């Protein structure tokens, strides 16, 4: 049993141990004098050295700590890309083209009503304001679907807005087609279907990435708008034919570009799977623009 000892400060504690020994049983320290003064260096006991060596051996055997690996940016610079899963991509493509086919069927049905229903066709001739009013409605709905993310992504508002847009676009195209010969309109519909199908196959099989050239297409589109103003001023049939050819080329490339945006894969850019309404809208507008340009081209070349 240790005896207490009154130290110099009036306190009590264990009796000081002899030189070179610890005051507590079971432990020992090595005290080394430095020089001739009273400075001493106390070394820890041998068991402490053995424990530290054993701990270092255990750390070396355990190996380096497991840190979380950084995300892989090798493909497209994004983490968890929405097109990384092939099933999500196939479902997105299926939904887009199903929506597009419904839109085209409704549009063709409305155009046929204006072509083969003589009463409606004559009414359109007498009320030319109807075409302009439908153009305004189409423009408003396009802006809503393009700029309002909540309307475009939220069900059922996105389908309601897209349905209203499809009906308004069909009425506008039908009222425009009423001023052309029925044979020319049918030829334009067939040519549009053939061109759209061929360009879709080309976009699927082609190794060229048209999504990286969207800026050039935008410049080309504004150049074509300026050329349209020139055609309106000069009123030359040859300029009209050239304008129709250039417009057909532009929207053909747009159709390929939008198709590759939907397919995703190894292309530089891709549309999010949540934007199936916007993707169907882009394809629909490309096909409708092709139809109008081909209709003008067939009529001018008769």
pLDDT recorded at residue 150: 83
Number of domains in the chain: 1
Higher model confidence: residue 3 or residue 223?
223
Q: Would residue 247 count as lying in a domain?
A: yes
- Digit-coded pLDDT (tens) for 68-79: 454 444 444 344
Q: Would residue 106 count as lying in a domain?
A: yes
**Alpha-carbon distance values, 59 to 50, 53, 54, 103, 215 (Å):** 14, 10, 9, 67, 57
Q: Would residue 68 count as lying in a domain?
A: no
Asked if residues 277 and 162 have their Cβ atoms less than 8 Å apart, the reply is yes
Q: Would residue 285 count as lying in a domain?
A: yes
Q: Would residue 115 count as lying in a domain?
A: yes
Q: Would residue 170 count as lying in a domain?
A: yes
Tell me what percent of the residues of the chain surpass a pLDDT of 90. 44
- In which domain, by residue range, is 123 found? 88-300
pLDDT recorded at residue 190: 95
Q: Averaged over 161-177, what is the pLDDT?
A: 95
Q: Would residue 36 count as lying in a domain?
A: no
Who contacts 101 (Cβ-Cβ below 8 Å, separation ≥6)?
Answer: none
And the tokens for 101?
């086919």
Highest mean pLDDT among 4-8, 80-84, 173-177, 234-238: 173-177
- Digit-coded pLDDT (tens) for 25-45: 544 544 455 555 555 545 555
Q: Would residue 121 count as lying in a domain?
A: yes
CA–CA separation, 214 vs 20, rounded Å? 85
Asked if residues 126 and 185 have their Cβ atoms less than 8 Å apart, the reply is no
Asked if residues 28 and 22 have their Cβ atoms less than 8 Å apart, the reply is yes
pLDDT recorded at residue 70: 46
Higher model confidence: residue 211 or residue 163?
163
pLDDT recorded at residue 209: 78
**Alpha-carbon distance values, 34 to 19, 39, 62, 133, 158 (Å):** 15, 6, 40, 104, 87
Average pLDDT over all residues of the chain:
78
- Digit-coded pLDDT (tens) for 253-291: 999 988 988 887 666 667 888 888 999 999 999 999 999
């Amino acid at each position: 049993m240790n005896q207490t000892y009154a130290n110099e400060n009036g306190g009590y504690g264990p009796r000081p141990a002899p030189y070179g020994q610890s005051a507590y049983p079971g432990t020992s320290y090595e005290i080394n004098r430095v020089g001739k003064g009273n400075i001493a260096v106390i070394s820890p006991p041998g068991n402490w050295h053995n424990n530290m060596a054993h701990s270092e051996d255990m750390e070396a055997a355990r190996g380096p700590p497991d840190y979380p690996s950084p995300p892989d940016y090798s493909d497209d610079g994004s983490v968890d890309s929405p097109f990384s899963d092939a099933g999500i991509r196939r479902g997105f493509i299926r939904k887009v083209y199903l929506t597009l086919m419904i839109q085209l069927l409704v549009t063709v049905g409305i155009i046929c009503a204006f072509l083969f229903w003589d009463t409606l066709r004559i009414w359109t001739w007498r009320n030319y304001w109807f075409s302009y009013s439908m153009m305004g409605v189409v423009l408003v709905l396009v802006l809503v679907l393009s700029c309002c993310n909540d309307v475009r992504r939220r069900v059922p508002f996105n389908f309601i807005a897209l349905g209203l847009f499809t009906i308004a676009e069909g009425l506008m195209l039908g009222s425009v087609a009423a001023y052309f010969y029925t044979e020319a309109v049918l030829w334009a519909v067939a040519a549009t279907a053939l061109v759209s199908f061929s360009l879709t196959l080309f976009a699927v099989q082609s190794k060229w990435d048209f999504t990286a050239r969207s800026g050039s297409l935008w410049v080309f589109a504004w150049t074509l708008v300026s050329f349209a103003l020139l055609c309106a001023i000069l009123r030359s049939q040859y300029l009209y034919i050239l304008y129709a050819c250039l417009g057909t080329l532009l929207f053909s490339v747009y159709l390929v570009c939008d198709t590759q945006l939907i397919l995703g894969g190894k292309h530089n850019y891709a549309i999010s799977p949540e934007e199936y309404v916007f993707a169907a809208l882009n394809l629909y507008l490309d096909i409708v623009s092709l139809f109008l340009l081909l209709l003008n081209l067939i009529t001018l070349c008769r």
